[in-house]
């Protein structure tokens, strides 16, 4: 199969449509809705409180086990939850078009909470489906196509939605977005359900205890969890202070930072995803994680060079493009790792747990990064972010014998090799 033909594989194309369906609701319950409340003259306190409706995205692992156990048998376990959540999202987005934050803000806030609950549940089902349906050699490209469509949906639901609202009003925007969610519905109707192993229900034990025990009793469980938490640690560390560094320290304008960091950086990251996915059809998972991990680490050093160069546009462009490209490489391998770590009996719950663990650095590094910059300066800070990239690579090295066995479709999975020890 040629490289181009790989992108036309049916399962990979499905990832495009599912990525779009997964990404569309996020901004419509967050930044776009906040813009609507702002234009309606609501207070900053009310606008700030809207962020609370996003909690289900963080807490989705609490109900993820139910997605591994209950579903309409003839339609399929994953497809049942996907179609239910997508139909509800279509209806709720349409219902939001009849609201107005100037008169009934609680109505819109309640519907936004419904969106985040069902959107988070859709994400759990789609993540599990993606992990189960993609062959090992397809995972890198599958991640690239999924994330590309996810980001495109975010742009449509945020940037394009604001432009549309300026010309046709908020009600029409949410009706159009409701129609676009039908992409997910039609996709789910035409895809096939992956096979699932039979698991006997044992109450709470089978829902929560067994999948957690499955993770904790694997060979080198500590190193597995540490790898999930630390592999993108340096990448997340430097991202926390990139914008303040560019705006305050180097005095670039908002337009310059927005254009290069947000737009150009997104393009560079997506290119990195596709390049990483293509390379992973030839590399073992271990080698991809290792090479891309080193690329992520050394890309952080570009900020040391940028700090030395100062306010130079070409230096900023080179730094951000390289850093985002290397981050895309790492993301392709990292998400493939998370899929590989999921036992097929508990895919939905375990992927949700691993995703929550992977988000820990983003949650805890804000105060730490600000303190470092304030007290030691930018050069030591960037040096620390470089060093912080290596504990994850150490964890990977400790798992090298296990991860390196996970090569091609049809061979033992990473979970098999860990449990067999």
CA quadruple 265, 245, 159, 10: dihedral positive or negative?
A: positive
Flag whether the pTM goes above 0.75. yes
**DSSP string over 89-103:** HHHHHHHHTT--TTT
| Residue 198 in domain | no
Is residue 293's pLDDT more than 90?
A: yes
Range of the domain at 108: 3-190
Q: Among 163, 190, 217, give the residue marking a domain's end.
A: 190
Is 360 within 8 Å of 392 (Cβ atoms)?
no
Cα–Cα distance measured from residue 1 to residue 50, given in angstroms and rounded to the nearest whole number: 48
* 239 CB-near residues (< 8 Å, 6+ apart): 362
Per the prediction, the chain carries an average pLDDT of 84
Mean pLDDT of 69-78: 76
pLDDT at 394: 94
CATH number, domain with residue 54: 1.20.1250.20
Task: Answer yes or no: do 208 and 185 share one domain.
Answer: no
Q: Of 164, 190, 216, which residue sits at a domain end?
A: 190
C-beta neighbour count of 236 within 10 angstroms? 23
Residue 197 belongs to some domain of the structure: no
Burial of residue 217 (CB within 10 Å: 0-12, 13-18, 19+) is: exposed
Among candidate residues 157, 190, 223, the one where a domain is terminated: 190
Return phi, psi of residue 52, to 5°.
-65, -25
Q: Are residues 307 and 390 in the same domain?
A: yes
129 plus 267 within the same structural domain: no
313-364 per-position pLDDT tens digit = 999 999 999 999 999 999 888 888 888 888 777 788 888 888 888 877 776 7
Percent with pLDDT over 70 in the chain: 90
Of the CA atoms within 13 Å of residue 327, those in its CB half-sphere come to 23
CB-CB neighbours of 53 under 10 Å: 21
Whether 159 is covered by a domain: the verdict is yes
């Amino acid at each position: 199969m040629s490289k181009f033909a790989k992108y036309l594989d049916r399962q990979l194309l499905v990832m495009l449509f599912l990525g779009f369906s997964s990404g569309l609701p996020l901004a419509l319950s967050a930044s776009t809705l906040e813009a609507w409340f702002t234009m309606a003259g609501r207070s900053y306190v009310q606008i700030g409180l809207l962020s609370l409706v996003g909690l289900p995205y963080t807490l989705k692992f609490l109900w993820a086990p139910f997605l591994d156990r209950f579903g309409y048998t003839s339609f399929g376990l994953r497809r049942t939850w996907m179609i239910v959540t997508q139909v509800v999202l279509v209806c709720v987005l349409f219902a939001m078009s009849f609201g107005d934050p100037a008169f009934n803000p609680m109505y819109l806030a309640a519907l936004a909470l419904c969106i985040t609950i069902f959107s988070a549940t859709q994400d759990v089902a789609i993540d599990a489906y993606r992990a189960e349906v993609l062959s090992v050699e397809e995972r890198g490209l599958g991640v690239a196509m999924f994330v590309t469509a996810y980001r495109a949906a975010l742009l449509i639901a945020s940037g394009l939605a604001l432009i549309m609202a300026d010309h046709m009003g908020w009600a029409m925007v949410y009706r159009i977005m409701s129609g676009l969610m039908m992409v997910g519905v039609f996709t789910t109707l035409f895809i096939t359900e992956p096979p699932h192993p039979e698991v006997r229900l044992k109450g709470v034990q089978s829902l929560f205890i067994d999948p957690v025990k499955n993770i904790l009793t694997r060979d080198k469980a500590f190193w597995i969890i540490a790898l999930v938490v630390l592999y993108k640690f340096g990448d997340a560390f430097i991202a926390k202070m990139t914008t303040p560094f560019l705006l305050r320290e180097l005095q670039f304008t908002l337009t310059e930072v927005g254009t290069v960091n947000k737009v150009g950086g997104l393009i560079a990251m997506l290119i990195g995803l596709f390049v990483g996915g293509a390379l992973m059809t030839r590399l073992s998972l271990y080698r991809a994680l290792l090479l891309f991990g080193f690329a992520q680490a050394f890309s952080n050093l570009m900020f040391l060079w940028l700090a030395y160069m100062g306010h130079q546009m070409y230096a900023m462009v080179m730094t951000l493009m390289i850093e985002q490209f290397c981050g895309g490489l790492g993301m392709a391998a990292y998400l493939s790792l998370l899929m590989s770590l999921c036992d097929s009996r508990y895919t939905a719950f375990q992927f949700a747990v691993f995703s929550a663990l992977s988000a820990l650095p983003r949650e805890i590094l804000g105060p730490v990064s600000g303190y470092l910059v304030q007290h030691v300066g930018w050069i030591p800070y960037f040096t620390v972010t470089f060093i912080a990239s290596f504990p994850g690579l150490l964890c990977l090295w400790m798992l090298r014998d296990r991860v390196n066995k996970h090569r091609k479709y049809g061979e033992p999975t990473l979970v098999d090799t860990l449990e067999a020890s």
